[in-house]
Copies of this chain bind each other. A is one copy, B any other.
Amino acid sequence: MVIQAKLITRRSRNLSDWYTDVILKGELADYAPVRGCMVYREYGYAIWERVKTLLDRRIRATGAQNVYYPLLIPEGLLMKEAQHVEGFSPQVAWVTIGGGEKLAERLAVRPTSEVIIGTMWAKWIGSYRDLPLLQNQWANVVRWEKATRPFLRTLEFLWQEGHTAHRTEQEARDETLLILGVYRDFAVEDLSMAVLAGQKSESEKFAGAVETHAIEGMMPDGKALQCGTSHFLGQNFARAFDIKFLDDDNTVKHVWTTSWGVSHRIVGGLIMQHGDDNGLILPPKVAPVQAVIVPILYDDTKALTLDTAAKLARLLGTGTVLGEPLRVHADLEETTSPGFKFSQWELKGVPVRLEIGPKDLARSQVTAVTRDERSKLPLAYDLAAGSFDFTGLEGLLLGVQQRLRERAEAELQSRLFKVESFQEFAEVVGSGRGFAEAAWDGTVETEKAIKERTSATVRVLKNEAASGKLACVYSGRPARLVAYWGQSY
């Protein structure tokens, strides 16, 4: 059986087809026989596990601990917070039959867990000594979506949801921004992504929140992808669920809460920000395979090359790069050509390829090729001494990690346009050029009108009040806020 190279649509030609191709042909995921759901294949799940490992570490460093709350939520609980129920009810999947019987009360498959968590906290929290309570869970949630795409929008999705309770408003506000910073740092430092971090407008905030903050990524088609949100919930859920504590001044008070989440959606953002016409380019910190060894086989050196490649894989597996054991794979398949293997591993975005052919063998070296620049560098090994140029390899990996970050940041900056007229505004957000930075009178009416005319929404507010002299780009009235606007996924 002849295995054919899997060709993919060029990213520069059609981002959407390219995206589908890299996911299906790169074997990250597949469509499930359930509408709107996806199956994670080995490689896609390995990327998600890396995301989990790296983000979990950052979340734990803030003092939060992992817990797990039930999947099913009685309807009565979901109804307790008015805005929350209004926001989520239309998206709920309802369990109505269990154990062969119609249930007296329907159970929601959790769309998020504020209400079940609030119920438990009311029981557990009694004193200011119990605060702050900082919890996180890695879980699956279900929201009934119409249009779906793997990772970007799926009926069931995997995420982490953090929930915290605090003694004072200020502490809860600080937590909200602390986590926003954690998300931004994670996206930038671990995933090499470029994001804007800031507050959402009133109409874009989480159902039940006082304030929502988000990180937003710029995609190659100029659209925004919301990659993580951090909500200051005030005392909305504390009042709805009666979560109170005895403070040290001997008075009983409601707690102040926050919630925050990053879902597998960020994997979609990662894919889109970093790929090229040949497929994915994964930042080394998150790549399931950081280096792939590809032997170049000729009849007379085949046995020795394969043997050396296998030994190198074992040797390299003992090395540490970027603070963790190196993730290396040797592709020892004998029936496929090196060229086919190159394209397969490029499609999967492995940051460094280590070629070993007859000349390399003679010089006791591998030829390292970076995924993004295709720059080549020989790296020496000595199997007898058990040594390898790990420093050289780490340098290459760091280089990929940094270049991806710089490229993404430059791309983002080049697609932010300060506009002063609505014509300019519409041109920027309507042409796929990027985000418009525009002054806004701050009213819901203007936001709505802009959305109707351009499909653009406030992605995040700029972190400064509008100066008295600016006029709203749409209404011409005095501006109250400056925001980044764009179409979004």
Contacts and interface: CB of A to CB of B under 8 A. Distances in A.
A305 to B, nearest CB: 22
A77 interface: yes
A142 B100 CA distance: 14
Contacts of A478: none
A210 to B, nearest CB: 25
B94 A67 contact: no
A17 to B, nearest CB: 20
Interface in A20-54: 30, 32-34, 37-42, 45-46, 48-49
A45 B71 contact: no
B69 A119 contact: no
A388 to B, nearest CB: 24
A89 to B, nearest CB: 8
Contacts of A158: 68
B93 A67 contact: no
Contact of A123 (B30, B95, B119): B30
A39 B69 contact: yes
B67 A39 contact: yes
Contact of A144 (B37, B65, B98): B98
Contact of A34 (B89, B107, B123): B107
A96 B158 CA distance: 22
Contacts of A48: 68
Contacts of A68: 39-40, 45, 48, 158
Given A41-B67, A66-B42, A34 B97 contact: no
Nearest to A3: B129
Given A30-B120, A67-B42, A93 B90 contact: no
Contacts of A99: 90-91, 93, 144, 146
Nearest to A73: B34
A219 interface: no
A196 interface: no
Interface string A159-186: 0000000000000000000000000000
